[in-house]
Amino acid sequence: MNIRFILFGALALASCDTSQPPARPPLEGARIGGAFTLTDQNGQTVTERNFAGKYRIMYFGYTFCPDVCPTDVQAIGAAVKKLETSDPALAAKIVPVFVTVDPARDTPAVLKQFVSAFHPRMVGLTGTDAQIARIKTEYAVYSSKGDASPGGGYLVNHSRQAYLMSPDGKPIALLPQEQGPDAVVTEIKRWVR
């Protein structure tokens, strides 16, 4: 067998190894994130400084969402639970955060019931319309209130991304929550140190 063929094959297999992270995070340098002042599910004022030194998963949605938000948040919560079992030290470095895009209905009490259903350490954040507008701008999140139904309810159209943020509040990567908890775990393990 030709030695060049063997070396080529070995190099080709080595290049398929995805266990090594890329040299730089995909969102490095992106203008995502920033200062905020909001209210958590316990009615306490929270700023970005409350999360200093922790990786955080930032997901934006609303509790009255009929399908996407509960599915995504369930995947995020399940991923953190899997990490708590497989790698408790790594899991302890991560805070899952749910930020509402519907502050009119998502009061602290509503958020408390919602986030506690997915993970005991998940933080739910709400605020005034102006505070939510500001954090949406900081995180490049889109949302728009839909038309009211005859009963007065409404849907909120919104973007669907989960950001993994560094301990100093910089964006690292988008998490694939739509692919389920295992995909989220894989991406977290790629970046969290």
In angstroms, the CA 12 to CA 14 distance is 5
Predicted confidence at residue 4, as pLDDT, reads 39
Chain-centre distance of CA 155, in angstroms?
21
In angstroms, the CA 107 to CA 142 distance is 20
Instruction: Report the predicted TM-score, pTM, of the whole model to 2 decimal places.
Output: 0.87
φ, ψ for residue 124, nearest 5 deg: -105, 135
Predicted confidence at residue 46, as pLDDT, reads 98
Sign of the dihedral through C-alpha 47, 50, 54, 60: negative
Q: Is pLDDT of 14 > 50?
A: no
In angstroms, the CA 13 to CA 168 distance is 36
Exposure on the CB side of residue 60, measured as CA atoms within 13 A: 26
Q: Are 73 and 59 in contact (CB under 8 A)?
A: yes
180 to 38, 78, 187: CA distances (angstroms) = 28, 9, 11
* pLDDT digits 0-9 by tens, 26-77: 999 999 999 999 999 999 999 999 999 999 999 999 999 999 999 999 999 9
Q: DSSP secondary-structure letter at 101?
A: S
* pLDDT digits 0-9 by tens, 159-182: 999 999 999 999 999 999 999 999
Q: Which amino acid is at 178?
A: E
φ, ψ for residue 82, nearest 5 deg: -60, -40
In angstroms, the CA 134 to CA 81 distance is 31
Domains in the chain with CATH codes:
25-191 (3.40.30.10)
* pLDDT digits 0-9 by tens, 113-172: 999 999 999 999 999 999 999 999 999 999 999 988 888 889 999 999 999 999 999 999
In the chain, % of residues over pLDDT 90: 82
Chain-centre distance of CA 116, in angstroms?
16
